[in-house]
Amino acid sequence: MPKPVKTFIPANSSPLIEKFINCLMMQGKKSIARRVFWDAMEVIKTRTKDPPLEVFQKAMLNATPLVEVRPKRVAGAVYQVPVEVNPKRQQALSIRWILGAARDRKGIPMSQKLALELLDASAEQGGAVKKKQDVLKMAQANKAFAHFAKS
């Protein structure tokens, strides 16, 4: 039976960072995803005086949604009902939105796109934060249907 191969995980990694790297990964290329993430941290280090992992934490926090709308069928009509978001789903959505916004930027390497999106999100700008604000607006617009969430 072959020996399991140990992968290198930096000492300053965390479960959130590992989850982010796993979501960044495409076609099982984890070493490439890990390199892209840490290269993005290096780019952040050159662009700002804040520690890169703090910028990452702040970006994740700023892109995290508190409420979202869910479709609920009542008497043949479908209402968009605002509901609070489960913490695990909050994390998953913020990761998805940050990576989606970074991938939508064109013309530069992924590590730079990710670094720019994380910097924007930490400054409450960028595609991921805009997506969060759109979801919040949608929830506020449909506040009248909140009483359907209980049933």
Domain ranges of the chain: 15-68+87-131
Nearest-angstrom CA–CA distance, 38 and 134:
30
Q: Which amino acid is at 83?
A: V
Name the packing angle between helices 52-62 and 126-141 (round to 10°): 20
What is the total residue count of the chain?
A: 151
Backbone angles phi, psi at 75, to 5 degrees: 50, 45
Regarding the domain delimited by 15-68+87-131, which CATH topology (the fold level of the hierarchy) does it fall under? Ribosomal Protein S7 (1.10.455)
Give pLDDT tens digits along the chain (151 positions).
766 655 556 667 789 999 999 999 999 999 999 999 999 999 999 999 999 999 999 999 999 999 999 998 988 999 889 999 999 999 999 999 999 999 999 999 999 999 999 999 999 999 999 999 999 999 999 888 888 877 5
Q: What is the pTM of this model?
A: 0.88
Q: What is the pLDDT of residue 5?
A: 58
